[in-house]
Amino acid sequence: MPPVLTKTLFSKGDLERPEVQAFFCGDERWALEVSEWIRFSSGENSALEDMKKYGTEVWLHWKEKVELVAVSSLGESKWSWPPPKGPKKLISVIPCVGLQRLFQGEPKEAPPEDRFAAQVLDHLIYEAKAKTNREPLIGLMVDEENKRAVRFYEKAGFAHLVKPHVSQGVTYLRMALDIS
């Protein structure tokens, strides 16, 4: 049986924890973004700012309560549903999620549905299901070059939506998961 991760709600005080300041998802641009997002206390790419501005919920995921494995988050947004021209509906979104490099693909011996990444996603699905004021949908945007994440979401059942989002020269694929 793989270790079951525990979670804590992220708050300002966590920024002083060495585990948070050492959080590292990898060197790729999307991985650096996630690491900085949890470590930065202000600016456009900051978990704390997203919490203040948009009410985003943010969690830390721990192995044996001491090793920081992952960060995850859930927010809300209005998306046209059904895409591309349906009325705007309030849905859950994942603004940012990431596992430390060391824990990606782990535990290798566990079936994919029990791996750490799947445990983190299960937690977000559980939280999103509890938001009864929102459509039973989870949306996200992922850098089209982030093949590993795209594959992970596809395997978890996320469907590709037609219209990608382009920002500062980067193309983000839109994906959504029906959690009804």
C-beta closer to ligand COA: residue 10 or 30:
30
Binding characters for ligand COA, 1-40, by CB under 6 A (x = yes): ------------------------xx---xx--x------
Secondary structure of residue 130 in the 3-state scheme:
coil
Between CA 141 and CA 77 the distance in angstroms is 12
Stretch that binds ligand COA, among 2-10, 41-49, 85-93, 104-112 (CB under 6 A): 104-112
Among 152, 158, 175, 179, indicate the residue that binds ligand COA (CB under 6 A).
152
Q: Which pairing describes strands 67-80 and 6-9: parallel, antiparallel, or unpaired?
A: unpaired
Q: How far is the CB of 73 from ligand COA (least distance, A)?
A: 11
Chain residue whose CB lies nearest ligand COA: 117
Between CA 133 and CA 130 the distance in angstroms is 9
Going by the DSSP 8-state scheme, the letter that residue 61 receives in this structure is: E
Helix 47-54 with 29-39: angle, nearest 10 deg: 70
Going by the DSSP 8-state scheme, the letter that residue 16 receives in this structure is: G
Q: Does 79 bind ligand COA (CB under 6 A)?
A: no
Answer whether 86's CB lies under 8 Å from 10's CB: no
Number of residues that bind ligand COA (CB under 6 A): 20
Residue numbers of the site for ligand COA (CB under 6 A)? 25-26, 30-31, 34, 97-99, 104-105, 112, 115, 117, 142, 146-149, 151-152
